[in-house]
Chains A and B, each alone.
Chain A
Amino acid sequence: MSDQKELVISSGDQLLQATTRRKFLGVMGVGGAIVFLPSVFAACNNDDNNGTGVVGGGTAAQFTLNLSDDTGILNYAYVLEQLEAAYYTAALGSPGFAALSANDQEVLNDLQKHEVIHREFFKMVLGSKAIPAIVFNTTTVGALTATKDVLLKTSQLLEDTGVSAYNGAGKYLTSSANLLLAGKIVSVEARHAAAIRDIRDGANGRLFAGDDVINPQGLDVKAEPSTVIAAVGGLNVLVSPVSIGTGPNAAIKSADTPAPSPS
Protein backbone atom coordinates (compact mmCIF):
# COMPACT_ATOMS: atom_id res chain seq x y z
CA MET A 1 0.00 0.00 0.00
CA SER A 2 1.27 3.40 -0.90
CA ASP A 3 2.07 5.55 2.09
CA GLN A 4 -0.79 7.80 3.33
CA LYS A 5 -3.00 7.03 0.33
CA GLU A 6 -4.72 3.85 1.41
CA LEU A 7 -5.64 2.40 4.74
CA VAL A 8 -6.85 -1.14 5.24
CA ILE A 9 -9.14 -1.73 8.20
CA SER A 10 -9.66 -5.34 9.10
CA SER A 11 -11.57 -5.01 12.34
CA GLY A 12 -13.75 -2.44 14.04
CA ASP A 13 -11.41 -2.25 17.00
CA GLN A 14 -8.71 -0.81 14.80
CA LEU A 15 -10.79 2.32 14.39
CA LEU A 16 -10.52 2.89 18.11
CA GLN A 17 -6.74 2.70 18.15
CA ALA A 18 -4.94 6.02 18.21
CA THR A 19 -2.43 5.08 15.53
CA THR A 20 -5.17 3.91 13.19
CA ARG A 21 -7.19 7.04 13.87
CA ARG A 22 -4.27 9.24 12.93
CA LYS A 23 -3.73 7.30 9.73
CA PHE A 24 -7.45 7.45 9.05
CA LEU A 25 -7.47 11.22 9.33
CA GLY A 26 -4.30 11.49 7.30
CA VAL A 27 -5.70 9.39 4.50
CA MET A 28 -8.98 11.29 4.55
CA GLY A 29 -7.02 14.55 4.42
CA VAL A 30 -5.29 13.65 1.16
CA GLY A 31 -8.32 12.15 -0.48
CA GLY A 32 -7.01 8.61 -0.16
CA ALA A 33 -8.98 5.41 0.10
CA ILE A 34 -10.12 3.65 3.23
CA VAL A 35 -10.60 -0.05 2.63
CA PHE A 36 -12.86 -1.88 5.04
CA LEU A 37 -12.28 -5.60 4.85
CA PRO A 38 -15.41 -7.74 5.18
CA SER A 39 -14.27 -8.76 8.62
CA VAL A 40 -15.16 -5.28 9.92
CA PHE A 41 -18.78 -5.71 9.02
CA ALA A 42 -18.87 -9.27 10.16
CA ALA A 43 -17.78 -8.06 13.56
CA CYS A 44 -20.39 -5.33 13.57
CA ASN A 45 -23.24 -7.54 12.55
CA ASN A 46 -22.59 -10.61 14.56
CA ASP A 47 -20.04 -11.29 17.21
CA ASP A 48 -21.24 -14.83 17.75
CA ASN A 49 -17.85 -16.19 16.78
CA ASN A 50 -18.09 -19.58 18.34
CA GLY A 51 -21.74 -20.43 17.86
CA THR A 52 -22.44 -20.69 21.58
CA GLY A 53 -24.70 -17.68 21.82
CA VAL A 54 -21.81 -15.63 23.09
CA VAL A 55 -22.22 -12.22 21.52
CA GLY A 56 -20.06 -9.19 22.12
CA GLY A 57 -17.96 -10.70 24.87
CA GLY A 58 -20.79 -12.19 26.87
CA THR A 59 -24.00 -14.17 26.64
CA ALA A 60 -27.42 -12.59 26.30
CA ALA A 61 -28.11 -13.82 29.81
CA GLN A 62 -25.07 -11.95 31.10
CA PHE A 63 -26.36 -8.72 29.55
CA THR A 64 -29.86 -9.16 31.00
CA LEU A 65 -30.37 -6.69 33.82
CA ASN A 66 -32.18 -7.63 37.00
CA LEU A 67 -33.28 -4.26 38.33
CA SER A 68 -34.95 -5.63 41.46
CA ASP A 69 -31.93 -4.86 43.61
CA ASP A 70 -29.13 -2.33 43.96
CA THR A 71 -26.66 -4.51 42.08
CA GLY A 72 -28.95 -4.44 39.06
CA ILE A 73 -29.43 -0.68 39.26
CA LEU A 74 -25.67 -0.17 39.50
CA ASN A 75 -25.18 -2.44 36.49
CA TYR A 76 -27.76 -0.30 34.67
CA ALA A 77 -25.62 2.73 35.49
CA TYR A 78 -22.58 0.76 34.32
CA VAL A 79 -24.24 0.25 30.92
CA LEU A 80 -24.68 3.99 30.52
CA GLU A 81 -21.18 4.80 31.69
CA GLN A 82 -19.73 2.22 29.32
CA LEU A 83 -21.64 3.83 26.48
CA GLU A 84 -20.53 7.36 27.35
CA ALA A 85 -16.92 6.32 27.93
CA ALA A 86 -16.70 4.41 24.65
CA TYR A 87 -18.33 7.23 22.75
CA TYR A 88 -16.09 10.00 24.06
CA THR A 89 -12.97 7.84 23.73
CA ALA A 90 -13.80 7.36 20.06
CA ALA A 91 -14.77 11.01 19.76
CA LEU A 92 -11.34 12.29 20.78
CA GLY A 93 -9.86 10.97 17.54
CA SER A 94 -12.76 11.96 15.33
CA PRO A 95 -13.08 14.57 12.59
CA GLY A 96 -15.85 16.17 14.66
CA PHE A 97 -13.46 16.71 17.55
CA ALA A 98 -10.73 18.09 15.29
CA ALA A 99 -13.19 20.72 14.08
CA LEU A 100 -13.94 22.01 17.60
CA SER A 101 -12.35 25.10 19.13
CA ALA A 102 -9.68 24.59 21.78
CA ASN A 103 -12.18 25.61 24.48
CA ASP A 104 -14.72 23.07 23.29
CA GLN A 105 -12.05 20.39 22.96
CA GLU A 106 -11.26 20.98 26.64
CA VAL A 107 -14.87 20.06 27.42
CA LEU A 108 -14.74 16.82 25.44
CA ASN A 109 -11.39 15.92 26.96
CA ASP A 110 -12.79 16.42 30.46
CA LEU A 111 -15.93 14.46 29.68
CA GLN A 112 -13.95 11.52 28.31
CA LYS A 113 -11.86 11.30 31.47
CA HIS A 114 -14.83 11.61 33.81
CA GLU A 115 -16.87 8.99 31.99
CA VAL A 116 -14.01 6.51 31.79
CA ILE A 117 -13.47 7.02 35.53
CA HIS A 118 -17.19 6.39 36.14
CA ARG A 119 -17.06 3.24 34.01
CA GLU A 120 -14.01 1.82 35.74
CA PHE A 121 -15.42 2.80 39.12
CA PHE A 122 -18.65 0.85 38.56
CA LYS A 123 -16.69 -2.08 37.20
CA MET A 124 -14.66 -2.20 40.39
CA VAL A 125 -17.64 -1.62 42.70
CA LEU A 126 -19.61 -4.40 41.05
CA GLY A 127 -16.67 -6.80 40.88
CA SER A 128 -17.78 -10.29 39.93
CA LYS A 129 -21.39 -9.07 39.63
CA ALA A 130 -20.57 -6.64 36.86
CA ILE A 131 -22.01 -7.28 33.44
CA PRO A 132 -19.33 -7.91 30.78
CA ALA A 133 -17.74 -5.17 28.74
CA ILE A 134 -20.19 -4.02 26.08
CA VAL A 135 -19.12 -4.21 22.45
CA PHE A 136 -20.01 -1.14 20.44
CA ASN A 137 -20.71 -0.75 16.75
CA THR A 138 -17.72 1.26 15.65
CA THR A 139 -19.29 2.13 12.32
CA THR A 140 -22.23 3.82 14.01
CA VAL A 141 -20.00 5.49 16.56
CA GLY A 142 -17.86 6.78 13.71
CA ALA A 143 -20.90 8.26 12.00
CA LEU A 144 -21.94 9.92 15.27
CA THR A 145 -18.59 11.67 15.58
CA ALA A 146 -18.02 12.53 11.93
CA THR A 147 -18.79 16.23 12.21
CA LYS A 148 -18.71 18.85 14.94
CA ASP A 149 -22.48 19.19 14.84
CA VAL A 150 -23.30 15.51 15.15
CA LEU A 151 -20.66 15.11 17.85
CA LEU A 152 -22.13 17.87 20.01
CA LYS A 153 -25.69 16.78 19.37
CA THR A 154 -24.93 13.20 20.31
CA SER A 155 -22.99 14.32 23.39
CA GLN A 156 -25.98 16.38 24.50
CA LEU A 157 -28.27 13.41 24.01
CA LEU A 158 -25.99 11.12 26.00
CA GLU A 159 -25.57 13.55 28.89
CA ASP A 160 -29.26 14.41 29.14
CA THR A 161 -30.05 10.70 28.96
CA GLY A 162 -27.58 10.08 31.77
CA VAL A 163 -29.21 12.76 33.92
CA SER A 164 -32.68 11.38 33.22
CA ALA A 165 -31.56 7.84 33.98
CA TYR A 166 -29.95 8.64 37.32
CA ASN A 167 -32.85 10.91 38.30
CA GLY A 168 -35.29 8.09 37.57
CA ALA A 169 -33.28 5.30 39.16
CA GLY A 170 -32.34 6.90 42.50
CA LYS A 171 -35.65 5.93 44.08
CA TYR A 172 -34.99 2.24 43.42
CA LEU A 173 -31.75 2.13 45.39
CA THR A 174 -32.20 0.65 48.83
CA SER A 175 -28.77 1.47 50.23
CA SER A 176 -28.19 5.09 51.20
CA ALA A 177 -24.52 4.65 50.35
CA ASN A 178 -25.44 3.66 46.79
CA LEU A 179 -27.89 6.54 46.54
CA LEU A 180 -25.14 8.93 47.59
CA LEU A 181 -22.78 7.51 44.97
CA ALA A 182 -25.43 7.98 42.30
CA GLY A 183 -25.97 11.52 43.56
CA LYS A 184 -22.26 12.28 43.36
CA ILE A 185 -22.25 11.23 39.71
CA VAL A 186 -25.55 12.65 38.46
CA SER A 187 -24.61 16.23 39.27
CA VAL A 188 -21.42 15.78 37.25
CA GLU A 189 -23.51 14.49 34.34
CA ALA A 190 -25.77 17.52 34.70
CA ARG A 191 -22.72 19.82 34.57
CA HIS A 192 -21.63 18.04 31.39
CA ALA A 193 -25.08 18.35 29.85
CA ALA A 194 -25.21 22.06 30.60
CA ALA A 195 -21.73 22.63 29.17
CA ILE A 196 -22.48 20.82 25.90
CA ARG A 197 -25.82 22.55 25.59
CA ASP A 198 -24.16 25.89 26.23
CA ILE A 199 -21.66 25.25 23.42
CA ARG A 200 -24.56 24.57 21.07
CA ASP A 201 -26.46 27.60 22.35
CA GLY A 202 -24.11 30.31 21.14
CA ALA A 203 -24.91 33.55 22.94
CA ASN A 204 -28.53 32.77 23.72
CA GLY A 205 -27.81 31.76 27.31
CA ARG A 206 -30.84 29.57 28.10
CA LEU A 207 -30.23 26.13 26.60
CA PHE A 208 -27.93 24.94 29.43
CA ALA A 209 -31.13 24.32 31.40
CA GLY A 210 -33.63 24.88 28.63
CA ASP A 211 -37.38 24.55 28.76
CA ASP A 212 -37.01 21.35 26.73
CA VAL A 213 -35.51 19.61 29.77
CA ILE A 214 -36.69 21.59 32.81
CA ASN A 215 -40.47 21.38 33.26
CA PRO A 216 -42.75 24.12 34.67
CA GLN A 217 -42.25 22.65 38.15
CA GLY A 218 -38.52 23.37 37.80
CA LEU A 219 -37.76 19.64 37.63
CA ASP A 220 -35.07 18.17 35.39
CA VAL A 221 -35.60 15.21 33.06
CA LYS A 222 -36.16 11.75 34.48
CA ALA A 223 -36.78 8.43 32.79
CA GLU A 224 -37.53 4.90 33.89
CA PRO A 225 -34.95 2.25 32.98
CA SER A 226 -37.14 0.71 30.28
CA THR A 227 -37.35 4.08 28.53
CA VAL A 228 -33.61 4.64 28.77
CA ILE A 229 -32.63 1.19 27.53
CA ALA A 230 -35.01 1.56 24.60
CA ALA A 231 -33.55 4.97 23.76
CA VAL A 232 -30.00 3.67 23.99
CA GLY A 233 -30.95 0.76 21.74
CA GLY A 234 -32.34 3.25 19.26
CA LEU A 235 -28.89 4.76 18.82
CA ASN A 236 -27.83 1.52 17.15
CA VAL A 237 -24.44 1.60 18.86
CA LEU A 238 -24.73 -1.47 21.12
CA VAL A 239 -23.61 -4.75 19.64
CA SER A 240 -23.97 -6.58 22.94
CA PRO A 241 -27.59 -7.60 23.65
CA VAL A 242 -28.36 -5.44 26.70
CA SER A 243 -31.90 -5.94 27.96
CA ILE A 244 -34.01 -5.73 31.08
CA GLY A 245 -35.03 -9.13 32.45
CA THR A 246 -36.59 -8.10 35.74
CA GLY A 247 -37.89 -4.55 36.09
CA PRO A 248 -37.52 -2.36 39.17
CA ASN A 249 -40.04 -2.09 42.01
CA ALA A 250 -43.31 -1.44 40.16
CA ALA A 251 -44.94 0.12 43.22
CA ILE A 252 -42.78 3.23 43.01
CA LYS A 253 -42.60 3.72 39.25
CA SER A 254 -43.30 7.23 38.02
CA ALA A 255 -44.19 8.82 34.72
CA ASP A 256 -41.38 9.86 32.41
CA THR A 257 -40.84 13.34 31.11
CA PRO A 258 -40.49 13.46 27.35
CA ALA A 259 -37.25 11.87 26.23
CA PRO A 260 -34.59 14.47 25.54
CA SER A 261 -34.20 14.96 21.80
CA PRO A 262 -31.67 17.60 20.80
CA SER A 263 -32.68 19.63 17.79
Chain B
Amino acid sequence: MDNQPILDSIDPELIERLAVRKAEIDRGSWASPGIIAALAIGSVPIAIGVLSKDLYGQAPSASIKGVLDFALALEIFENEFYKAVLGRSASAAQNNAFTVVRALALAVPGAGNTLDQIQKHEVQHIATLQAAGATNVFGLTEASFDFTGARGAGNGPFAKATTDLPFLLQVAQGAEDTGVRAYKGQAANLMSSPGLLEAALRIHSVEARHASRIRRMRRAAANAPSSVRWSGTIRGGGAAAAGAADAGPDAAAVTAAFQSIYGAGANSTNAPSESNTMQGGIDVTTLANANFGLEAAQEAFDEPLDRADVVAIVQGFFIPTIS
Protein backbone atom coordinates (compact mmCIF):
# COMPACT_ATOMS: atom_id res chain seq x y z
CA MET B 1 0.00 0.00 0.00
CA ASP B 2 1.38 3.42 -0.90
CA ASN B 3 0.61 5.85 1.89
CA GLN B 4 2.80 8.63 0.69
CA PRO B 5 0.27 10.86 -1.11
CA ILE B 6 -2.04 10.75 1.89
CA LEU B 7 0.71 11.56 4.36
CA ASP B 8 1.98 14.40 2.21
CA SER B 9 -1.33 16.12 2.38
CA ILE B 10 -1.30 16.28 6.16
CA ASP B 11 -0.07 19.25 8.13
CA PRO B 12 3.38 18.46 9.64
CA GLU B 13 2.23 19.90 12.95
CA LEU B 14 -0.55 17.35 12.99
CA ILE B 15 1.97 14.56 12.47
CA GLU B 16 3.90 15.80 15.47
CA ARG B 17 0.77 15.86 17.58
CA LEU B 18 -0.21 12.44 16.36
CA ALA B 19 3.15 11.06 17.42
CA VAL B 20 2.54 12.36 20.91
CA ARG B 21 -1.04 11.13 20.87
CA LYS B 22 -0.01 7.71 19.67
CA ALA B 23 2.57 7.53 22.44
CA GLU B 24 -0.12 8.41 24.92
CA ILE B 25 -2.42 5.73 23.58
CA ASP B 26 0.41 3.21 23.65
CA ARG B 27 0.90 4.12 27.29
CA GLY B 28 -2.75 3.50 28.01
CA SER B 29 -4.45 6.85 27.58
CA TRP B 30 -8.07 6.83 26.59
CA ALA B 31 -8.71 6.43 22.89
CA SER B 32 -11.78 5.45 20.94
CA PRO B 33 -12.02 1.76 20.01
CA GLY B 34 -11.76 2.76 16.34
CA ILE B 35 -8.31 4.19 16.85
CA ILE B 36 -7.08 1.20 18.77
CA ALA B 37 -8.42 -1.11 16.06
CA ALA B 38 -6.80 0.98 13.32
CA LEU B 39 -3.47 1.09 15.11
CA ALA B 40 -3.67 -2.62 15.79
CA ILE B 41 -4.07 -3.50 12.12
CA GLY B 42 -1.26 -1.14 11.22
CA SER B 43 -3.31 0.97 8.87
CA VAL B 44 -1.68 4.37 8.94
CA PRO B 45 -4.28 6.21 6.84
CA ILE B 46 -7.16 4.82 8.84
CA ALA B 47 -5.43 5.51 12.14
CA ILE B 48 -4.60 9.07 11.11
CA GLY B 49 -8.09 9.69 9.89
CA VAL B 50 -9.63 8.54 13.14
CA LEU B 51 -6.94 10.14 15.28
CA SER B 52 -7.55 13.48 13.60
CA LYS B 53 -11.10 13.29 14.77
CA ASP B 54 -9.91 12.20 18.21
CA LEU B 55 -7.72 15.30 18.42
CA TYR B 56 -9.75 17.87 16.64
CA GLY B 57 -13.22 16.43 17.08
CA GLN B 58 -12.84 17.81 20.57
CA ALA B 59 -10.87 20.89 19.61
CA PRO B 60 -10.65 23.12 22.64
CA SER B 61 -13.23 25.83 22.91
CA ALA B 62 -11.97 29.39 22.88
CA SER B 63 -12.13 29.64 26.65
CA ILE B 64 -10.32 26.34 27.18
CA LYS B 65 -7.71 27.21 24.60
CA GLY B 66 -7.16 30.45 26.49
CA VAL B 67 -6.42 28.47 29.65
CA LEU B 68 -4.03 26.17 27.78
CA ASP B 69 -2.26 29.10 26.10
CA PHE B 70 -1.80 30.81 29.45
CA ALA B 71 -0.44 27.62 31.00
CA LEU B 72 1.93 27.24 28.05
CA ALA B 73 3.30 30.75 28.59
CA LEU B 74 4.02 29.94 32.25
CA GLU B 75 5.71 26.66 31.34
CA ILE B 76 7.88 28.35 28.70
CA PHE B 77 8.86 30.93 31.33
CA GLU B 78 9.81 28.24 33.84
CA ASN B 79 11.64 26.19 31.23
CA GLU B 80 13.70 29.14 29.99
CA PHE B 81 14.50 30.11 33.58
CA TYR B 82 15.87 26.66 34.45
CA LYS B 83 17.64 26.41 31.09
CA ALA B 84 19.43 29.68 31.81
CA VAL B 85 20.34 28.50 35.31
CA LEU B 86 21.70 25.23 33.91
CA GLY B 87 23.48 26.90 30.97
CA ARG B 88 21.20 25.27 28.39
CA SER B 89 19.48 28.33 26.96
CA ALA B 90 19.73 28.98 23.25
CA SER B 91 20.74 32.48 24.32
CA ALA B 92 24.38 32.85 25.35
CA ALA B 93 23.47 36.01 27.24
CA GLN B 94 20.92 34.15 29.38
CA ASN B 95 23.47 31.41 30.12
CA ASN B 96 26.22 33.89 30.92
CA ALA B 97 24.03 35.79 33.35
CA PHE B 98 23.79 32.75 35.64
CA THR B 99 27.43 31.61 35.46
CA VAL B 100 28.26 32.43 39.07
CA VAL B 101 25.21 30.90 40.70
CA ARG B 102 25.36 27.86 38.41
CA ALA B 103 28.72 26.88 39.82
CA LEU B 104 27.41 27.32 43.34
CA ALA B 105 24.36 25.18 42.62
CA LEU B 106 26.27 22.37 40.96
CA ALA B 107 28.57 22.17 43.97
CA VAL B 108 25.65 21.06 46.18
CA PRO B 109 25.14 17.27 46.08
CA GLY B 110 21.88 16.48 44.33
CA ALA B 111 21.08 20.06 43.33
CA GLY B 112 22.15 19.67 39.72
CA ASN B 113 20.06 16.50 39.41
CA THR B 114 17.07 18.27 40.90
CA LEU B 115 17.31 21.24 38.55
CA ASP B 116 17.75 18.85 35.64
CA GLN B 117 14.72 16.82 36.67
CA ILE B 118 12.59 19.94 37.05
CA GLN B 119 13.65 21.39 33.72
CA LYS B 120 12.89 18.06 32.04
CA HIS B 121 9.34 18.23 33.40
CA GLU B 122 8.85 21.79 32.15
CA VAL B 123 9.84 20.69 28.63
CA GLN B 124 7.40 17.79 28.90
CA HIS B 125 4.65 20.11 30.06
CA ILE B 126 5.22 22.36 27.05
CA ALA B 127 4.90 19.39 24.68
CA THR B 128 1.82 18.09 26.46
CA LEU B 129 0.06 21.45 26.39
CA GLN B 130 0.90 21.91 22.71
CA ALA B 131 -0.43 18.44 21.94
CA ALA B 132 -3.64 19.47 23.68
CA GLY B 133 -4.01 22.48 21.41
CA ALA B 134 -2.13 25.27 23.18
CA THR B 135 -0.22 27.72 21.02
CA ASN B 136 2.53 30.21 21.83
CA VAL B 137 0.26 33.22 21.51
CA PHE B 138 2.79 35.67 22.97
CA GLY B 139 5.53 34.54 20.58
CA LEU B 140 7.86 33.65 23.45
CA THR B 141 11.48 32.68 22.82
CA GLU B 142 14.56 32.42 25.03
CA ALA B 143 15.05 36.16 24.39
CA SER B 144 11.60 37.06 25.75
CA PHE B 145 12.63 36.97 29.39
CA ASP B 146 14.47 39.20 31.83
CA PHE B 147 15.00 37.05 34.92
CA THR B 148 16.04 40.07 36.95
CA GLY B 149 12.44 41.26 36.71
CA ALA B 150 13.08 44.46 34.75
CA ARG B 151 11.35 43.54 31.46
CA GLY B 152 14.54 43.79 29.45
CA ALA B 153 16.72 46.27 31.29
CA GLY B 154 18.52 43.44 33.08
CA ASN B 155 18.86 45.33 36.35
CA GLY B 156 15.69 44.38 38.20
CA PRO B 157 15.23 43.46 41.88
CA PHE B 158 15.91 39.77 41.23
CA ALA B 159 19.39 40.25 39.76
CA LYS B 160 20.77 38.80 43.00
CA ALA B 161 19.48 35.38 41.88
CA THR B 162 22.27 35.21 39.29
CA THR B 163 25.01 35.25 41.94
CA ASP B 164 23.43 34.07 45.22
CA LEU B 165 22.29 30.44 45.55
CA PRO B 166 19.91 30.86 48.52
CA PHE B 167 18.21 33.72 46.70
CA LEU B 168 18.04 31.75 43.44
CA LEU B 169 16.31 28.91 45.27
CA GLN B 170 13.92 31.34 46.89
CA VAL B 171 13.00 32.68 43.45
CA ALA B 172 12.62 29.15 42.07
CA GLN B 173 10.35 28.28 45.00
CA GLY B 174 8.27 31.37 44.22
CA ALA B 175 8.01 30.42 40.56
CA GLU B 176 6.90 26.87 41.37
CA ASP B 177 4.38 27.97 43.97
CA THR B 178 3.00 30.54 41.53
CA GLY B 179 2.57 27.70 39.07
CA VAL B 180 0.73 25.61 41.67
CA ARG B 181 -1.59 28.50 42.47
CA ALA B 182 -2.15 29.28 38.79
CA TYR B 183 -3.15 25.74 37.80
CA LYS B 184 -5.38 25.46 40.86
CA GLY B 185 -7.13 28.66 39.87
CA GLN B 186 -7.77 27.42 36.33
CA ALA B 187 -9.06 23.92 37.18
CA ALA B 188 -12.70 24.98 37.27
CA ASN B 189 -12.35 26.44 33.76
CA LEU B 190 -11.49 22.97 32.42
CA MET B 191 -14.43 21.09 33.92
CA SER B 192 -16.18 20.81 30.57
CA SER B 193 -13.21 18.80 29.27
CA PRO B 194 -12.48 15.96 31.71
CA GLY B 195 -9.38 14.78 29.87
CA LEU B 196 -7.79 18.20 29.88
CA LEU B 197 -8.82 18.79 33.50
CA GLU B 198 -7.11 15.57 34.50
CA ALA B 199 -3.95 16.48 32.59
CA ALA B 200 -3.90 19.90 34.24
CA LEU B 201 -4.32 18.35 37.69
CA ARG B 202 -1.46 15.99 36.96
CA ILE B 203 0.78 18.90 35.95
CA HIS B 204 -0.38 20.85 39.03
CA SER B 205 0.82 18.14 41.42
CA VAL B 206 4.17 17.92 39.64
CA GLU B 207 4.69 21.64 40.24
CA ALA B 208 3.85 21.09 43.91
CA ARG B 209 6.47 18.34 44.13
CA HIS B 210 9.01 20.73 42.64
CA ALA B 211 8.14 23.46 45.16
CA SER B 212 8.44 20.98 48.02
CA ARG B 213 11.89 19.79 47.03
CA ILE B 214 13.14 23.36 46.58
CA ARG B 215 11.92 24.23 50.08
CA ARG B 216 13.88 21.28 51.42
CA MET B 217 17.01 22.37 49.54
CA ARG B 218 16.68 25.81 51.13
CA ARG B 219 16.21 24.40 54.62
CA ALA B 220 19.12 22.00 54.16
CA ALA B 221 21.40 24.90 53.27
CA ALA B 222 20.72 26.27 56.76
CA ASN B 223 19.96 29.71 55.45
CA ALA B 224 16.20 29.46 55.63
CA PRO B 225 14.11 29.84 58.77
CA SER B 226 12.15 26.90 60.23
CA SER B 227 9.01 28.36 58.65
CA VAL B 228 10.43 26.82 55.46
CA ARG B 229 9.12 23.39 56.36
CA TRP B 230 10.96 20.14 55.80
CA SER B 231 7.52 18.83 54.77
CA GLY B 232 7.58 21.14 51.75
CA THR B 233 4.31 22.81 52.71
CA ILE B 234 3.54 26.52 52.83
CA ARG B 235 3.42 28.03 56.31
CA GLY B 236 1.51 31.31 56.61
CA GLY B 237 0.70 33.79 53.86
CA GLY B 238 2.10 36.86 52.17
CA ALA B 239 5.81 37.60 52.00
CA ALA B 240 6.45 35.77 55.28
CA ALA B 241 5.40 32.50 53.64
CA ALA B 242 8.38 32.76 51.28
CA GLY B 243 10.67 32.29 54.27
CA ALA B 244 12.82 35.08 52.91
CA ALA B 245 16.26 35.43 54.47
CA ASP B 246 18.03 38.15 52.52
CA ALA B 247 16.08 40.03 49.86
CA GLY B 248 19.06 41.93 48.48
CA PRO B 249 19.54 45.58 47.62
CA ASP B 250 16.02 46.13 46.33
CA ALA B 251 14.32 44.46 49.30
CA ALA B 252 11.11 46.43 49.06
CA ALA B 253 10.40 45.28 45.51
CA VAL B 254 11.34 41.69 46.30
CA THR B 255 9.16 41.64 49.40
CA ALA B 256 6.26 43.10 47.42
CA ALA B 257 6.66 40.34 44.81
CA PHE B 258 6.60 37.59 47.44
CA GLN B 259 3.64 39.29 49.08
CA SER B 260 1.77 38.78 45.78
CA ILE B 261 3.00 35.21 45.34
CA TYR B 262 1.77 34.09 48.77
CA GLY B 263 -0.85 36.70 49.54
CA ALA B 264 -4.42 37.21 48.41
CA GLY B 265 -5.25 37.99 44.80
CA ALA B 266 -7.22 41.02 43.66
CA ASN B 267 -10.41 39.08 44.38
CA SER B 268 -9.67 37.68 47.82
CA THR B 269 -12.83 35.57 47.77
CA ASN B 270 -11.63 33.65 44.70
CA ALA B 271 -7.98 33.82 45.64
CA PRO B 272 -7.37 34.06 49.37
CA SER B 273 -3.94 34.41 50.92
CA GLU B 274 -2.04 31.21 51.69
CA SER B 275 -2.76 32.14 55.31
CA ASN B 276 -6.46 31.37 54.74
CA THR B 277 -8.13 28.94 57.11
CA MET B 278 -11.75 29.17 55.89
CA GLN B 279 -12.33 26.12 53.68
CA GLY B 280 -15.74 25.39 52.20
CA GLY B 281 -17.29 27.69 54.78
CA ILE B 282 -15.56 25.89 57.65
CA ASP B 283 -12.89 27.43 59.85
CA VAL B 284 -10.36 24.61 59.90
CA THR B 285 -8.69 25.96 63.04
CA THR B 286 -11.79 24.96 64.99
CA LEU B 287 -12.26 21.36 63.84
CA ALA B 288 -12.95 18.88 66.60
CA ASN B 289 -10.08 16.45 67.20
CA ALA B 290 -7.73 18.50 65.01
CA ASN B 291 -6.70 21.28 67.31
CA PHE B 292 -3.18 21.93 66.06
CA GLY B 293 -3.24 25.71 65.93
CA LEU B 294 -3.08 28.22 63.13
CA GLU B 295 0.06 27.19 61.28
CA ALA B 296 -0.92 23.57 60.62
CA ALA B 297 -4.36 24.72 59.47
CA GLN B 298 -2.73 27.11 56.99
CA GLU B 299 -0.31 24.48 55.73
CA ALA B 300 -2.99 21.83 55.20
CA PHE B 301 -4.62 23.69 52.29
CA ASP B 302 -3.02 25.47 49.32
CA GLU B 303 -4.82 28.41 47.70
CA PRO B 304 -5.53 29.38 44.08
CA LEU B 305 -4.80 32.59 42.20
CA ASP B 306 -6.78 34.13 39.37
CA ARG B 307 -5.15 34.58 36.01
CA ALA B 308 -4.80 38.36 36.40
CA ASP B 309 -3.02 37.83 39.74
CA VAL B 310 -0.55 35.46 38.12
CA VAL B 311 0.04 37.84 35.22
CA ALA B 312 0.79 40.63 37.70
CA ILE B 313 3.36 38.40 39.46
CA VAL B 314 5.22 37.22 36.38
CA GLN B 315 4.91 40.18 33.99
CA GLY B 316 8.18 41.73 35.20
CA PHE B 317 10.08 38.69 33.94
CA PHE B 318 8.47 38.83 30.47
CA ILE B 319 9.64 41.44 27.96
CA PRO B 320 6.44 41.16 25.86
CA THR B 321 3.21 42.20 27.51
CA ILE B 322 1.17 39.15 28.50
CA SER B 323 -2.41 39.00 29.64
Contacts and interface: CB of A to CB of B under 8 A. Distances in A.
Interface of A: 103-104, 106-107, 110-111, 113-114, 116-121, 124-125, 163, 166-168, 170-171, 176-177, 179-181, 183-195, 198, 201-206, 208-210, 214-222, 252-257
B65 interface: no
Contacts of B4: none
Nearest to B235: A110
Interface string B270-294: 0000000001101010011110100
Q: Which 10 A-B pairs have the closest CB atoms?
A: A218-B124, A205-B110, A205-B113, A255-B28, A190-B208, A110-B231, A194-B212, A191-B232, A171-B194, A203-B109
Chain A facing B: main interface SS: helix
Contacts of A113: 290, 292, 296, 299-300
Given A186-B204, A205-B117, A121 B125 contact: no
Contacts of B205: 163, 166-167, 186-187, 189-190, 220
A192 B290 CA distance: 18
Contacts of A257: 28
Interface in B106-152: 109-114, 116-118, 120-125, 127-128, 131
A118 to B, nearest CB: 6
Interface stretch (B40-48, B52-60, B180-188, B309-317): B180-188
Given A120-B290, A220-B203, A110 B209 contact: no
- Contact-residue bracket for chain B: 35 or more
A216 to B, nearest CB: 6
A187 B211 CA distance: 10
B210 interface: yes
A222 B198 contact: yes
Contacts of A107: 229-231
Contacts of B118: 209
A116 B121 contact: no
A194 B287 contact: no
B197 interface: yes
Given A183-B184, A184-B184, A204-B113, A219 B203 contact: yes
A205 B105 CA distance: 12
Given A113-B296, A120-B289, A190 B184 contact: no
Given A110-B231, A163-B205, A220-B209, A120 B300 contact: no
Contact of A187 (B208, B282, B290): B208
Contacts of A171: 194-195, 197-198
